[in-house]
Structure 1
């Protein structure tokens, strides 16, 4: 699991006064990239790295400005060139706790050769840090 916190920005809200639904995908993206950079370091667009091929989100409660959120990112077991990630987005309360989930979602990450635009096997340095495949 990877955890990160960030502020809800005033510009994240829409005309209805809550965080716009598209911004939740940005929150998950920020968490996913931080998680992947912790695993791999910075990426070079001339080499190999991750792309996301599916994304989904379930909205449970409205987030509003001002506030701080916590994004928890979990990785699934690896396939040949891909693995699933899931995210929980929680509001940080006045005590600094982030127990109530406001949204959850995820997606599928595929490792590709950026120049060839084709999937490649997950590098061992990434695979070794993901949960084991269940039998």
Structure 2
């Protein structure tokens, strides 16, 4: 099982009046990591995988601790916890090596923009996603499971 790694820069404008990253900004961080995972890492040269569109059906976010501005990026690890016929669930941890700030999950539905309706996950997409499947840990609701240190990791520069 692999996890996708995305280094996300913090912006001064991400802070709220209380001096930490605003809760709504974390949704944008998740989006950046998800887009990098699904589109930039899609298999094959010129592959149409995931390029037809997708919609978010659900977000679930646990805010573990405040994140304050600094110059170093925050790491977002992403992996897949469920692949259905026409949806997938991506889990995330927004973290540093020593602490987790957010655990989250997103249900994504592939979408045919031209037809204006959901579509099924293609065989190519499923094969790509299978490399990132991690079973949820008991009591964690599918978010934040920790794999073996031997897990393959894909790193994406922000």
- TM-score, normalised by the number of residues in structure 1: 0.83
Unmatched runs of 5 consecutive residues or more in structure 2: 136-158
Structure 1 counterpart of 2:80, from 70, 75, 92: 75
Q: How many residues align?
A: 125
Q: Could you say if the C-alpha distance between residues 42 and 56 of structure 1 is closer, same or farther in structure 2, counting changes exceeding 3 Å?
A: farther
Q: Could you say if the C-alpha distance between residues 124 and 117 of structure 1 is closer, same or farther in structure 2, counting changes exceeding 3 Å?
A: same
Alpha-carbon contact 1:43-1:49 (below 8 Å) kept: no
Q: Does 1:55 align with 2:54?
A: no
2:42 and 2:81 map into 1 onto residues whose CA distance is 14
Q: Secondary structure at the match of 2:37?
A: helix
Runs of 4+ in 1 over 4 A off after TM superposition: 40-44
Unmatched runs of 5 consecutive residues or more in structure 1: 92-97
1:20 and 1:114 map into 2 onto residues whose CA distance is 31
Considering only aligned residues, what root-mean-square deviation do their CA atoms show, in Å?
Answer: 2.2
Q: Which moved more, 1:19-28 or 1:67-76?
A: 67-76
Alignment of 1:1-135 (within 5 A): 1-37=3-39, 38-39=41-42, 48-66=52-70, 67-91=72-96, 98-131=97-130
- TM-score, normalised by the number of residues in structure 2: 0.71
Q: Could you say if the C-alpha distance between residues 65 and 19 of structure 1 is closer, same or farther in structure 2, counting changes exceeding 3 Å?
A: same
Q: Which moved more, 1:114-123 or 1:81-90?
A: 114-123
1:15 and 1:42 map into 2 onto residues whose CA distance is 44
Please state how far the C-alpha of 1:51 moved relative to its aligned partner: 1.5
